[in-house]
Amino acid sequence: MKVRDVTIFTGERFEVPQGIQRIDSYATHGWQLRYGGTKLFSDHTPDGSGASAALVQATKELLNRIAKLPAPSRLQRAPSGNKTSDLPVGISGPIVRQRARTGVRDCSLSVSLPRFGGTAIRRSVYIGTENTYTVERYQLALAKAVALREKAEATYQRAATKAKRAEGLTLEIGRIGVKRRRKV
């Protein structure tokens, strides 16, 4: 899991895991967990002496949430505002191509299938030729394209969650995030 060095207002430095932010304001001092919602773990002291204990609590809660919740998805959930069709995210078309030898045009939908840790792949879902194209065939092809996209999204989500939980285990084993360093 990614960690970074954070120096608090007292000059103490901590290694803090991704998903935890430091909040130092006039009103409060603490660590804010930002994973599956937010939660503040206060230092309960104005001088920052409780920062280490609060970070331990925030890290424990982060590990609990990683173990229980699915990983945050980076997939687009809604069509962009520039999309001119009413097709779902990841599906475009119909795309019309002319066959080289026969000169007959055929029609298909293009589906973007996300892969965790890799680039998305494109699949084409055939609708028909200019002679066989019907609204029913279009609707069947669209249903198939939506099913392909949903299956790929579910696979992506499972892989992302598995990877995030593996990162959480390395954090738990190494106890990164609770190491306290000397003042600068």
Residues forming beta bridges with residue 37, ordered by sequence position: none
Q: In this predicted model, what pLDDT tens digit does every residue of 76-127 receive, in sequence order?
A: 777 777 777 788 888 988 889 888 888 889 999 999 999 998 889 999 999 9
Q: Helix (H, G, I), strand (E, B), or coil: what is residue 41? A: strand
Rounded to 5 degrees, what are φ and ψ at 2?
Answer: -70, 140
Give the 3-state secondary structure of 122-151: EEEEEEEECCCCCHHHHHHHHHHHHHHHHH
pLDDT of residue 124: 93
Q: Which of 168, 164, 171 is nearest to 70 (CA)?
A: 164
pTM above 0.85, yes or no: no
pLDDT of residue 154: 92
Residues forming beta bridges with residue 41, ordered by sequence position: 31
